[in-house]
Amino acid sequence: MSLTAERRETPFRRGRRLRRTPALRRLFQETRLSPASLLLPVFVDARLRDPEPIPSLAGHMRWPVSRIGEVAGQAASAGIGGLLVFGLPAEKDDRGEGAFDPLGPVPSALRALRQRDDGLVIVADVCLCEYSAHGHCGVLRADGSVDNDETLPLLAEAAVAYARAGADVVAPSDMMDGRVAAIRADLDRAGLAETAVLSYSAKFASAYYGPFRDAADCAPSFGDRTTYQMDPPNAREALAELVADVEEGADAVMVKPAGLYLDVVARAREKLDVPIAAYQVSGEYAAIAAAADRGLMDRRGAALESLTGIARAGADVIVTYFALDAAAWLAER
């Protein structure tokens, strides 16, 4: 149908002109995804000799230290920015002291990765939940509550152990108050001033962590984490947590989960000048993967759209289980 004479005389914006071809759309993109901005979570298990598939995270493995170079090689070949390393120890205790064992899974993996020198940024997650028999992120009092201040020295000791083993960045995920200041102070005292701190500053008590807790064997044996992780309705409080961690010395901060908290990512981007990371968590990955497996959506399209949304909100770095796939898909564009 042709336009009426009256309508032809009324100017209107033809936005479709810049969407007409794939080349035009690529040229005028406002948000650009790059493999270099992606971090791939990796699980290192001290009990294994061979990689073991993770049923709740299809396509992902628990890796023995002796084979960690394989996933590093894949990531480097794909152009991914780096790895976020989690550890599963051979034994656990009530205080999670295996977190700072220099011969534990994370320090051992970090030394192996540093010897390879694949050009990846190596980030070590810092928390006690994988190492504690009770699965909570800190030391417990007699009444079962988490003792914030008693936990801080253990987190700082773990961060120092990881930095000494070769971590470029340590990433406290525990949500204890004051842990960034404690970690920064101990790193500096240990002569590790060059090690950066990426703080999980706004980590919400989310229902979307289920597959991760299975993968890392760190589900709480009682209760939940709502007293130290953030309450999902609270965006202003999240911003206060982000600001506080920067003031304590964090070099970069993280919002977790990503997809349900894009408003927090956007507010952080407006407020802060430090790099913002966002974690597309295991439940977000599993939901897309499961829907795609049932033919309800296109895996590639849904994954890239979700990552684009996170970047558009203001995230400079995205932690995602889609990292290897996304890098391959982006290379095909």
For residue 4, is pLDDT > 80? no
Catalytic status, residue 256: yes
Q: pLDDT-based confidence at 3, cuts 50/70/90? A: low
Q: Which CATH architecture has domain 32-332?
A: Alpha-Beta Barrel (3.20)
Q: Check 92, 95, 136, 203 and give the catalytic one.
A: 203
Q: Residue 28 pLDDT more than 60?
A: yes
For the whole model, what pTM was predicted?
0.94
Instruction: Considering the candidates 60, 62, 225, 256, report the single residue annotated as catalytic.
Output: 256
- State the Cα–Cα distance between residues 314 and 36, nearest whole angstrom: 16
Q: What is the pLDDT of residues 166-211, one digit of tens each?
A: 999 999 999 999 999 999 999 999 999 999 999 999 999 999 999 9
pLDDT of residue 6: 59
Of the listed ranges 16-25, 117-126, 253-262, the one predicted with least confidence? 16-25
| For residues 316-329, average pLDDT | 98
Residue extents of the structural domains in the chain: 32-332
Q: Is 203 annotated in the active site?
A: yes
Provide mean pLDDT across the span 65-94: 96
| Widest CA span in the chain | 82
Q: What share of the chain is helix, strand, coil (3-state, %, to 5)?
A: 45, 15, 40
| CA separation, residue 321 to residues 26, 62, 237 (Å) | 25, 13, 28
Tell whether the model's pLDDT for residue 1 goes beyond 90. Answer: no
Question: CA 323 to CA 208: how far, in whole Å?
Answer: 18
Q: How far apart are the first and last CA of the chain?
A: 34
Residue 216 has pLDDT above 80, yes or no: yes
The reported pLDDT for the residue numbered 10 is 72
- Residue 289 binned pLDDT confidence (cut-offs 50, 70, 90): very high
pLDDT, tens only, 38-67: 999 999 999 999 999 999 999 999 999 999
pLDDT(277) > 60:
yes
Average pLDDT on 77-104 reads 96
Element (H, E) at 39: strand 38-45
